[in-house]
Amino acid sequence: MNYIEPGTGRTYPLDTPRWRGDSGHYLELEASPGLRRSDIDQQCRSIWRYAKALPVAASTAVSMGEGWTPLVDGDWDGAPVRFKLEFMMPTGSFKDRGTSVMVSYLKSHGVRHVLEDSSGNAGASLSAYAARAGIHCRILVPETASFGKIAQIAACGAEVVMIPGPRQAVADEAVRQADEIFYASHNWQPTFVEGIKTLAYEIWEQSGYTVPDNIVMPLGYGSNVLGCRRGFEELMRNGEIDRMPRLFGVQAANCAPLYAAFASGADTTGDIQVKPTLAEGIASSKPTRGREVLASIRASGGAVVQVQEDEIVAALRAYAHKGLFIEPTSAVTGAALSQLLKGGTIDRSQSTVVVLTGSGLKASSTIGQALGLGIGTDKAGG
């Protein structure tokens, strides 16, 4: 397997870690052979049960048991759904899937100092896995990031640098610093998506080796969308499934570049007006792989949905009343599913999986304020 530069088709050997092509364009990985159900390591209860389909040997894995999260039966607005509890990961978010594979790859190729930009979850994940791997880590975070997430990053020993301005300013600063330190960006390094594709494998396996009709997930930079497409396509090539599920990505209306592009029929994102949103984890105004994300959603027959702040709060409360304490970023899925059910885009007779990406423990003060619970500040109760 090689890195491949979209558009030009130029390849680079995978045995030399890089985060972008010589042209400055992001990279993908060549098609993976994937796996069949007989290739699954049934004795392993983590993403590494699918090591046959990953670009790193299981024997060199930097792992903390990430993956194999519950797929729980439930309902939403009276429709039967299943909730994929990705917040039940070692660091509390779905990012651990991709980070485990990316850090395993980088460590096995001699990288000892990494840089990342993150609104919280990716930084928390990388700081933890870098600590486990013995890799020095610097995380750039927006100054508005949740206190709990910053504390989690710092507690693992990472160097935390707060950057003023919007989320995009943090990404821009990371690119500037990438000349000094290897940029282990979950948005640029394609081995991250290789880890995320295990979400598709798990949904397939936990569904009795079938696929649901629909998968609804939060959408920022789009790694879950890209991972699901890659994983399900591998299963199709190996004859394990005969169709793709429809992929629905959800954005907060206050920062919805992919929604704007999807609604207008554009192939990639453009400039948008950005406002603050409770869903800070998906507040990305310039997603790196926007073209690829839009193409993946369209190819699946799905859609990009936007939701308003009051809808996010209502969904957050509804989830909590089901016992699902998730961060506001995850709650956008419930708001979108209500829209999709009401409009008939998703039929109540169809099978639907909702991906819940981050733990509410990361944003407890924000949640308390949004729901009017009267709890203390982050410093007092976070």
Helix, coil or strand: residue 108: helix
pLDDT at residue 142, rounded to an integer = 86
pLDDT above 50 (res 381)? no
Domain 71-93+191-370 and domain 95-183 have a common topology: yes
pLDDT digits (tens, 9 = 90+) for 290-338: 999 999 999 999 999 999 999 999 999 999 999 999 999 999 999 999 9
Say how far apart CA 356 and CA 330 lie, in whole Å: 5
Beta bridge partners of 149: none
The answer to which of 58-62, 175-179, 371-375 has the lowest mean pLDDT is 371-375
Instruction: For residue 155, count other CB atoms closer than 10 A to its CB.
Output: 12
pTM over 0.75: yes
Instruction: Identify the CA nearest to 186 among candidates 265, 93, 300.
Output: 93
pLDDT digits (tens, 9 = 90+) for 180-236: 999 999 999 999 999 999 999 999 999 999 999 999 999 999 999 999 999 999 999
pLDDT at residue 167, rounded to an integer = 75
pLDDT at residue 145, rounded to an integer = 76
Q: Where are the domains of the chain?
A: 1-30, 71-93+191-370, 95-183
Is the backbone of residue 31 left (phi > 0), alpha (psi -120 to 50) or beta?
beta
Please give the C-alpha separations between residue 369 and each of 22, 168, 347, 363, in angstroms, as whole numbers: 46, 26, 34, 10
Q: Which fold has domain 95-183?
A: Rossmann fold (3.40.50)
pLDDT at residue 150, rounded to an integer = 87
Mean pLDDT calculated for residue range 87-93: 97
Please give the C-alpha separations between residue 25 and each of 21, 128, 171, 257, in angstroms, as whole numbers: 5, 28, 15, 20
What would the two tokens of residue 38 be?
């007989």
CB 214 within 8 A of CB 346: yes
**Class assignment of domain 71-93+191-370?**
alpha beta
3-state secondary structure 4-31: ECCCCCCEEECCCCCCCCCCCCCCEECC
- DSSP strand E in 21-163: where? 28-29, 71-76, 79-85, 113-117, 136-142, 159-163
Output the average pLDDT for the chain. Answer: 95
